[in-house]
Amino acid sequence: MFSKATANFVREIDPEGLLIHVSRVNDSHKLVPMALVIKRKRWFWQRPRYQPTDFTLGDLLLGDKELMPGVSESEFLTYKGTYGAKLASDLGPEVGSASIRLEGRGTTKLQSCFGQLKKEEVNVKKLLLDSDNRLVDMQHVLVRQIEKRAEVVGLVKERILTTSPCSITQTKVEECTFQGVLGLVGMLGSSVKVCVRDSNSIEIDSDVSVEIPSGTVIAYSILELEVKKDGQYYICLQPGAIGGFESDSISRSWPSDDSFDTVDGNHMEKVLSPLAKLPQPTRWALFKKLQETLNDRAALSYLQLVLEDLCSNEIHNGTPKEEQPSAESPTESTLNAAHLLVSAMEELPNETLELLSKSAPDFLQAFNMLACKLKSSDVLNIQSLPALLQDNQAFQLAEQLLSSASVMLRRDADRLWMETRDNAGVLPVVLFLSIHGLCLLCNAL
């Protein structure tokens, strides 16, 4: 409830900015000026997650001199917001021994009254002067853990706080059961031990009010740190500047936001490949249930979050997804594949999800073949199209699917090529990955 309220706050006042919403009230006391926050990597198209630590920048630097750069205070704004949503979904019966069911009815309303807020901001110029020539203690326990996991650390530059007690009220009139995640995990690997924090059933007609004390941090921004092997560090001052440890720089292999690099594309498709090794009945059941889930974005988003928690438990065996050991278990790799597929689909527009939910396996297979050809060649001969797409109706459906992801399919008498709109971003990437993953599930049916 608190996380939803702070997320709504950031989305309203700083939608494309640098503010990060606070997920837990319990993290508030950790988010002091110059506190260190760990930036958790996710799939490259997703916003990262942030985990506050119990340390500040001064704790990590060699030397006894305390850093006191100064913090300015100013009034920010007064905020009150009310958000509502309706829920209506039903995803069907059991399949085999695994229950795959999501159903719910009702409404929910969230009201946040944070009152007058204030902003505290670190004097970055003085911080740079005070910390000049200081080195990071590379043997510090936090540094060793972050470096090993190839994570990024940042310091809290500014924070938004409440100035008086305030409240968050959530009213629910609903009946909701979510068993789909447990069933999905059971189908992906019966040996998985699942611990889902959310209850399978949500209380009907609940009315909850939480009082937030004065001085609670609801949002903050960070400056990332770039740390060299010898302990020298730099504060990334430019917007969009990415920090990290020097040893991590060579291991970054995510594709850019506006291109689908062949090597990186192959890497992502390799992550999806364990889906093809599932038993045929399991693959078909997953394919059908995922298609049904595409009609309910709330269910898709929830499924993505739970799979993310199951896959990483924040981090598998202390290593990030990109650096998992070669002896990865079949179940673990299959969960990672399912997480990648669901995360890619969640990024797609509603129009694309609707089209995918209705797409037959033979069309998806033909489209996947077309996508592979288009990625390897700028221009195709019309005769090289998969047989199904030489039918005018199927070709128009392919055009519509690509257009929904900001990709235009052009053709003349005997040639075919693809044009991507300037604002396409990651949409072509996640569309091709989504279709490839679905094809792995419905292949040879």
DSSP annotation string for 23-38? --GGGGGG--TTEEEE
Rounded mean pLDDT, 50-79: 90
For the ranges 45-54, 218-227, 268-277, 408-417, the maximum mean pLDDT occurs at 218-227
Is there a single domain that holds both residue 287 and residue 162? no
Q: Is 330 or 338 the better-scoring residue by pLDDT? A: 338
Does residue 183 register a pLDDT over 60? Answer: no
Does residue 323 register a pLDDT over 80? Answer: no
Task: Decide: 34 and 128 in contact? Cβ < 8 Å.
Answer: no
The answer as to whether 256 is a domain residue is no
| pLDDT of amino acid 353 | 94
Q: Which residue has the tokens 């189908």?
A: 187
Is there a single domain that holds both residue 72 and residue 48? yes
| pLDDT of amino acid 206 | 54
The answer as to whether 154 is a domain residue is yes
> Over pLDDT 90: what percentage of the chain?
35
Give the separation between CA 310 and CA 318, rounded to whole angstroms.
14
pLDDT category at 5 given cuts 50, 70, 90 is confident
| pLDDT of amino acid 197 | 38
Q: Is 79 or 176 the better-scoring residue by pLDDT? A: 79
CA distances from 445 to 155, 232, 274 (A): 52, 57, 17
Is there a single domain that holds both residue 297 and residue 350? yes
Is there a single domain that holds both residue 228 and residue 329? no
Is there a single domain that holds both residue 436 and residue 416? yes
Is there a single domain that holds both residue 120 and residue 19? yes
The parent domain of residue 109 ranges over 2-251
* Domain endpoint, select from 251, 282, 298: 251
CA distances from 131 to 58, 68, 194, 211 (A): 9, 10, 46, 39
Give the separation between CA 76 and CA 68, rounded to whole angstroms.
23
Q: Which residue has the tokens 């979904």?
A: 89
* Domain endpoint, select from 251, 284, 300: 251
Is there a single domain that holds both residue 242 and residue 388? no
Bridge partner residues of 103 (DSSP): 90, 177
DSSP state of 249: G
Rounded mean pLDDT, 136-145: 92
Q: What is the pLDDT of residues 7-16, one digit of tens each?
A: 888 888 888 7
| pLDDT of amino acid 325 | 40
The answer as to whether 411 is a domain residue is yes
| pLDDT of amino acid 148 | 79
Is there a single domain that holds both residue 140 and residue 6? yes
The answer as to whether 400 is a domain residue is yes
**DSSP structure string for 40-94:** E---TTSPPEEEEEEEEHHHHBSSSPPP---EEEEEEEEEEEEEEEEEEEE----
| pLDDT of amino acid 444 | 60
Does residue 352 register a pLDDT over 80? Answer: yes
Give the separation between CA 249 and CA 18, rounded to whole angstroms.
23
The answer as to whether 141 is a domain residue is yes
Helix (H, G, I), strand (E, B) or coil at 362: helix
Structure tokens at 295: 């009609």
Give the separation between CA 58 and CA 122, rounded to whole angstroms.
14
| pLDDT of amino acid 423 | 81
Does residue 19 register a pLDDT over 50? Answer: yes
Q: How many CB atoms lie within 10 A of CB 307?
A: 22
| pLDDT of amino acid 331 | 75
Does residue 87 register a pLDDT over 50? Answer: no
Rounded mean pLDDT, 90-100: 35
Helix (H, G, I), strand (E, B) or coil at 147: helix
Does residue 285 register a pLDDT over 80? Answer: yes
For the ranges 8-12, 41-45, 232-236, 440-444, the maximum mean pLDDT occurs at 232-236
Rounded mean pLDDT, 221-236: 92
Is there a single domain that holds both residue 236 and residue 196? yes
The closest of 112, 218, 84, 216 to 169, measured between CA atoms, is 112
Structure tokens at 427: 């949409």
Does residue 123 register a pLDDT over 80? Answer: yes
The answer as to whether 57 is a domain residue is yes
* Domain endpoint, select from 199, 217, 251: 251
Is there a single domain that holds both residue 236 and residue 99? yes
Q: Could you tell me whether strands 217-227 and 244-245 are parallel, antiparallel, or unpaired per DSSP bridges?
A: parallel
pLDDT category at 173 given cuts 50, 70, 90 is low
Is there a single domain that holds both residue 209 and residue 325? no
Q: How many CB atoms lie within 10 A of CB 19?
A: 19
Q: How many CB atoms lie within 10 A of CB 219?
A: 25
**DSSP structure string for 274-321:** GGGGS-HHHHHHHHHHHHHHTT-HHHHHHHHHHHHHHHHSSSBTTB-G
Rounded mean pLDDT, 184-206: 46
The answer as to whether 301 is a domain residue is yes
The answer as to whether 311 is a domain residue is yes
Q: Is 47 or 427 the better-scoring residue by pLDDT? A: 427
Rounded mean pLDDT, 390-395: 88
Is there a single domain that holds both residue 103 and residue 219? yes
Helix (H, G, I), strand (E, B) or coil at 220: strand
The number of domains in the chain is 2
